[in-house]
Amino acid sequence: MVNVAYLGMGAIGCTFASQMKNTNYNIQVICDGERKERYKNNKFSINDIDYVFDYKSLDEFEESPDLLIISVKYHDLREAIKGIDKIIDKDTIVISLLNGIDSEEIIAEQIGEDNLLYSFVYSTDATKVGKTFYYKNNGIIFFGEKSGEITEKAKRLKKIFEDNDIRHDMSTNIIRDMWFKYMINIGFNQPSAVLGAPYGVFRNNQNIREIGTKAMLEVVTLANKLGIDLSMQDIQDGFDVVDNFAADGRTSMLQDVNAKRITEIDMFAGKFCEIAKKHGVPCPVNEMLYHMVKVIEYKY
């Protein structure tokens, strides 16, 4: 039996845990204390189906998982991964489904590089309302070695996804792919959170499309300076994807703002502006969006 452990059961974690639950895989959710009791007492409702998983603290793992999927919030990541090194062995594959471009670096500080594959989720519209989760587009998990090699580790992960009918793409240029997704998040998550705009507004309003385009152009400029070949065509490709989402669907950052949760702005504009300034790339649009979202959080 294949053992898969999840750390983080938000919209993304629930989307893929529910898909895996229907196979003969053993799905374990890492949690402790009050959170563990809450999970036990309240079923996860995912696309109107109730799910119960196997909830375990790190101390309760008797054998290492074959795959560890990390999908906590960015601002919780460093705290959440403390101690995970004690449940993994040399054969455990570890992937992060967080947005952004630096979660793998943070995780590597805790467990090293050997178990990691770089990854991200693309084309999902998963939404969380309390303990109820919905998704229409279940997303594609892109993954690969930082080096671009097709290794046995990558092949093992591909087999797990195939067994569970999870859409996936084994990338030979994962860093470029991650920067593309980063650009998309910066161009859509941040304006949506500031303006309270669901996906349909991006489809129909030229003003918000212009804001998103300018924010993404800053990412293209920095990426090119770093040797990553993003272009205007990638920006258009991003709009093509979002234009197919449900009109009333909301980005993850807009969901956070609506629920008065801390957003991932530090991972998006915060980290981006830090890198951009280090390399002498102007980032006025992202800098402004960063401060706007911080004011929204302050007003909670």
Determine the pLDDT at residue 249. 86
- For the chain, how many residues are written? 300
Q: Could you give the dihedral angle defined by the CA atoms of residues 120, 139, 244 and 131, in that order, rounded to the nearest 10 degrees? A: -100
Helix axis angle, 206-225 to 232-242, nearest 10°: 140
pLDDT in tens, 120-150: 998 777 777 767 887 777 789 999 999 999 9
**Residues 244-286: tens digit of each pLDDT:** 888 998 898 999 999 999 999 999 999 999 999 999 999 999 9
What per-residue confidence (pLDDT) applies to 133? 84
The DSSP secondary structure of the chain, one letter per residue, reads: --EEEEE--SHHHHHHHHHHHTSS-EEEEE--HHHHHHHHHS-EEETTEEE--EEE-GGG-SS--SEEEE---GGGHHHHTTTGGGT--TT-EEEE--SSS-HHHHHHHHH-STTB-EEEEEEE--EEETTEEE-SSEEEEEEE-TT----HHHHHHHHHHHHTT--EEE-S-HHHHHHHHHHHHHHHHHHHHHHT--HHHHHH-HHHHHHHHHHHHHHHHHHHHTT----HHHHHHHHHHHTTS-TT---HHHHHHHTT---STIIIIIHHHHHHHHTT---HHHHHHHHHHHHHHHH-
User: Tell me, what's the pLDDT at 200?
Assistant: 95
Q: What per-residue confidence (pLDDT) applies to 23? A: 82
Domains of the chain as residue ranges with CATH: 3-172 (3.40.50.720), 176-299 (1.10.1040.10)
Say what the pLDDT of residue 246 is: 83
Whole-number pLDDT of residue 10 = 87
Task: Write out residues in the chain with pLDDT < 50, as ranges.
Answer: none
Dihedral sign (CA 194, 16, 14, 135): positive
Strand 44-46: give its sheet, edge to edge: 49-51, 44-46, 132-134, 127-129
Give residues with Cβ within 8 angstroms of 204, minimum separation 6.
Answer: none
C-beta separation of 55 from 34 below 8 A:
no
Rounded to whole angstroms, what are the CA distances from 205 to 194, 233, 250, 254, 292? 15, 20, 15, 17, 20
Are the C-beta atoms of 19 and 164 separated by less than 8 Å? yes
